[in-house]
Amino acid sequence: MEAVNLLSSNKYTEKQIGYLFISVLVNSNSELIRLINNAIKNDLSSRNPTFMCLALHCIANVGSREMAEAFAGEIPRILVAGDTMDSVKQSAALCLLRLYKTCPDLVLMGEWTSRVVHLLNDQHMGVVTAAISLITCLSQKNPDEFKTCVSLAVSRLSRIVSSASTDLQDYTYYFVPAPWLSCKLLRLLQCYPPPEDGAVKGRLVECLETILNKAQEPPKSKKVQHSNAKNAILFEAIALIIHYDSEPNLLVRACNQLGQFLQHRETNLRYLALESMCTLASSEFSHEAVKTHIETVINALKTERDVSVRQRAADLLYAMCDRSNAKQIVAEMLSYLETADYSIREEMVLKVAILAEKYAVDYSWYVDTILNLIRIAGDYVSEEVWYRVIQIVINRDDVQGYAAKTVFEALQAPACHENMVKVGGYILGEFGNLIAGDPRSSPLVQFNLLHSKFHLCSVPTRALLLSAYIKFINLFPETKSTIQEVLRCDSQIRNSDVELQQRAVEYLKLSSIASTDVLATVLEEMPPFPERESSILAKLKKKKGPGAVSVNELEDAKREGGELNGGGERGGDTSAMAASNASTPSPSADLLGLRPGPAAVSVAPPSAGSLLVDVFSEGPAAPSTAVNDDGFLSSAPPPPAAVSEDPAPPLPEAEELLNKFVCKNNGVLFENQLLQIGIKSEYRQNLGRMYLFYGNKTSVQFVSFTTTVTCSVELQSQLNVQVKTVEPLVEGGAQVQQVVNIECLTDFIDAPLLNIKFRYGGALQNLTLKLPVTINKFFQPTEMLSQEFFQRWKQLSQPQQEAQKIFKAVHGIDAEVVKAKLLGLGTALLENVDPNPENYVCAGVIQTKAQQVGCLLRLEPNAQAQVSLNSVNVHVHTDTYTCTSAHTIHNSGLKIVRFLDSLVR
Amino acid sequence: MIKAILIFNNHGKPRLSKFYEHYTEDTEQQIIRETFHLVSKRDENVCNFLEGGILIGGSDNKLIYRHYATLYFVFCVDSSESELGILDLIQVFVETLDKCFENVCELDLIFHVDKVHYILGEMVMGGMVLETNMNEIITQVDAQNKLEKSETFIFQSPRQDR
């Protein structure tokens, strides 16, 4: 309030303090504003130039809407009135500009337009300086109304440029005539296309040439201010030349001039030269000329001490890049990236990614570049970049094999970035088959490689990897059991993260239930992505202001990028672009597009049994401590510490361990403090393949690691076992894999022995296990109806064809468990066959090379016999389709009965 | 357009701040801090331009600064201004201050902050440059001083008026 009172004072000092107070402290306090406005109105009409100036200053500095409403009509009149003092005119011009910026709707130029434009001719340079800001702003908004300013500006400019350095007296700044005004005039001209009037144009070109010439003259002063002012004009002139983009002669001169500046010792000039060159590079006339400076620019990128300058250099490299020099530039940018400042890395990454895509001649180069990019600056590689590389790989057949190979190699690096794992997971999941032919990158090697990174990754990456695994199952059926094992382990299927758990459960089910055909359909290769604008570009655009690379430049890049990929959307405006971005499926959520939805889940119930086999098999069987038939327990020699070079006798628990695997194909066979042996196996007809995984649980390497599989003399004629040798060295924490191929010649009883010897810290470790190969692995389930079953059953009634065993059910009889076990055995569980619903009836054919042995099985639980001792009565009837001795048939049958015995216990 | 003019010393103490766009007081303080942080860590012989901080327009804006003895003069401008031109403007501003205060130093800015504002007002108005001619600016400032003095004399000792 005091301040407002001061405003109405007649004393200059008081008024001044009042205004100062208001312009510093008052924003738009509506109550005061009215009073202030009143005071200002009085001052404006006071005809005292000092007071008027103070009032105008106040308006300009506060610039609120209320003020605009009150004075928008008044100020233009002051501005163009003939009798207004120059200093007041100046203030009025800028005041009007301020009001125009706040509320363009209130400032109606109309009748004042031509008079405002003619202020350019004003005698007083100060007035011109102020007016030109106003005119520039106004002509940007309505260029047509202010067209006349072009010729006036040109004539004004030519008068300044051609004047001797002393002509303009006060406005000469360090021997440069009116630099500020010249800059502003050149800026104003940049709002318009080249003048159409030949005379005006000639005059302007003359001016520009003079400016360029002056740059070559020796400086009139050693002072930095002199060259600054001179160069300020020069840079504006070059900007105008670039804006016109129609005078090849001038453009080349401008380019040469900038080239000189690139090596100037003034950092400011290098900075500005790089910046101007960026825009120059986009002109067709000068693009080639700019390219000649590539070495200098690269040098600047490498040696410049100032990050601002380096960033400009990077921008310029980006702008000058074309097909001919893309490889060089991208390579330079990549190598710079390793040492680049953190603040600009992400932008650099985006730029490299865009250039690589835009100018990729062969896409293998593109893939190489992006993978390098991820390797060097993985942290700064945004999602968009790796989405894009995947889109491109999927859309281009010719590069898929190469991409798979390269990414496979890249993943072998001991430490690779998570983004690399993502790309690797996706690409191998899709195109791993293209390199599977090479034994060095066989399916399992690929899988193990990916899986070795699994535990290091974040949840979204893990989810992606799980999807890749299920794709592997489709691509390579031989990895199925391995992968199922992974999916099944607690850390997946009981993962605390809902997404991971869901994926694990669903994929596991999908893989165990769906037939190969269904799997192949569900997990089909991704269809090509619809062409769309590179998401990277949008990202860069979002990140960058118009500072370094003009929007046009980006639009160009976008257009070219689109053509390269066969023409895509040309979303011109940002909203369209944002929309196209939004429609990009979010890969982290469902990259492979195969999240098994309701379809997959609904398949599950009918054959849930097969799943239960896996789920339950570990339960009842494992904890049993029963005595073995063979009596191994009683005659067991001391455990494997025995320091003998001969294969140790089988571990006492070997038989039990073996029995664990009767009904399942995968799991951990053996584990102690040093070693874990995992098994994954699959059987088809009379052939089987078993993968043994030896995991070193210590941090010390195992040396002289050898494994041998031996068969007894008898077994050798029954079973053909081939083993691939393993590397003698197992690093601490590492896992080696061994493949065992098994062919069943005829039926057999014994299991092959697996002997493992290695030295751990000098001590020889020697242990022998039984390889879990049992006759029932070669079962082929057979479906038959009740009538058929009992008909066959009766036919097989001779003593050699029948085996029966009665044993106690140790764990009680749980229908589901028993069913699961029987299915795990490999036979078909026949429903509604036996008149007694309590009984279980199974049928299957044992496939051996020599013969096929039909086998019928009936399990009769007898829960009533004794309350505490449930008993099970099993009959096994075997028949043969080919001629064979009764003994073998009998043995096979017995063997199975024996297994059942151990199972149901 | 000039968005803001900041003067602070080597320790980041603001000596003058003038914003030509409206910010809340807190934001203004933060802008000053941020700008100081950006500017002060730069070496002596690097260029005088850098991209603005996040608060004041981000990469659309440039900070153009000069370092004189103990003071940083920072102009935050948008892309419509010529960088070297602004650099010259800073020089003009400083030279003007120098002439008005006769060997300007940091203390002058502290004790005559009103005068600095008046001088700045003669150069820049509402974010646009009003006058670049040093003599013109000084004439205006002198005129003000004269007015001021005459009024002060009237006010304090009417006898001297005779």
Contacts of A171 in chain B (CB under 8 A): 132-133
Annotate A412-431 with three-state secondary structure: CCCCCCHHHHHHHHHHHHHH
Taking only residues 245 to 274 of chain A, the set having a beta carbon closer than 8 angstroms to any beta carbon of chain B reads 267-268, 270-272
Please compute Rg for chain A using Cα positions.
43
Q: What pLDDT does A829 receive?
A: 79
Judged on CB neighbours under 10 Å (0-12, 13-18, 19+), A373 is buried
- Over range B130-146, report the average pLDDT: 84
Among A686, A654, A658, residue whose Cα is nearest residue A773: A658
> Residue A857: phi, psi to the nearest 5?
-140, 140
Q: Of A181-190, A723-732, B68-77, B117-126, where does mean pLDDT reach its minimum?
A: A723-732
d(CA B160, CA B152): 11
- Shortest distance between the Cα of A305 and any Cα of chain B, in A, equals 7
Would you say residue B147 has pLDDT above 90? Answer: no
The angle formed by the CA atoms of residues A47, A53 and A58, to the nearest 5 degrees, is 125
Contact A660, A903 (CB under 8 A): no
d(CA A893, CA A747): 10
- Over range B101-119, report the average pLDDT: 87
Q: What pLDDT does A227 receive?
A: 85
Least CB–CB distance from B126: residue in A61, A231, A306: A61
Contact A845, A837 (CB under 8 A): no
Element of type H or E holding A742 = strand A735-744
Q: CA-nearest residue of chain A to B134?
A: A170
* pTM for the model: 0.59
**Given the DSSP bridges, would you call strands A667-671 and A176-177 parallel, antiparallel or unpaired?**
unpaired
- Shortest distance between the Cα of A41 and any Cα of chain B, in A, equals 19
**Given the DSSP bridges, would you call strands B71-77 and B62-68 parallel, antiparallel or unpaired?**
antiparallel
Contact A215, A258 (CB under 8 A): no
Q: A190 touching B, CB under 8 A?
A: no
d(CA A489, CA A166): 89
Residue A381 Cα distances to A110, A315, A375, A451, A770, angstroms: 53, 18, 10, 22, 50
Judged by DSSP in three states, A592 sits in coil
Q: A126 touching B, CB under 8 A?
A: yes
Q: Testing the interface with A: which of B77, B88, B90 to mutate, by most A Cβ within 10 A?
A: B88
Contacts of B131 in chain A (CB under 8 A): 90, 126, 129-130
Residues lower than pLDDT 50 in chain A = 545-644, 865-873, 879-895, 901-905
Would you say residue B73 has pLDDT above 90? Answer: yes
Which range, A52-56, A538-542, B56-60, B155-159, is most confident?
Answer: A52-56
Q: What pLDDT does A868 receive?
A: 36
Q: Testing the interface with B: which of A51, A180, A258 to mutate, by most B Cβ within 10 A?
A: A180
Q: What is the dihedral of CA A485, A486, A488, A494, to 10 degrees?
A: 160
Contact B83 A305 (CB under 8 A): no
Contact A130 B129 (CB under 8 A): yes
Contact A734, A685 (CB under 8 A): no
Would you say residue B49 has pLDDT above 90? Answer: no
As for the ipTM of the complex, it is: 0.86
Judged by DSSP in three states, A306 sits in coil
In single-letter form, the type of residue at position A579 comes to A
Contact A57 B49 (CB under 8 A): no
The angle formed by the CA atoms of residues A496, A500 and A501, to the nearest 5 degrees, is 65
Inter-axis angle of helices A30-44 and A49-62, nearest 10: 150
Least CB–CB distance from A306: residue in B47, B87, B136: B47
Residue A11 Cα distances to A85, A301, B137, angstroms: 21, 60, 22
Strand order in the sheet with B49-51: B14-19, B2-9, B71-77, B62-68, B49-51
Q: What pLDDT does B5 receive?
A: 92
Q: What pLDDT does B6 receive?
A: 92
Q: Testing the interface with B: which of A75, A167, A271 to mutate, by most B Cβ within 10 A?
A: A271
pLDDT digits (tens, 9 = 90+) for A47-67: 788 888 888 888 887 777 778
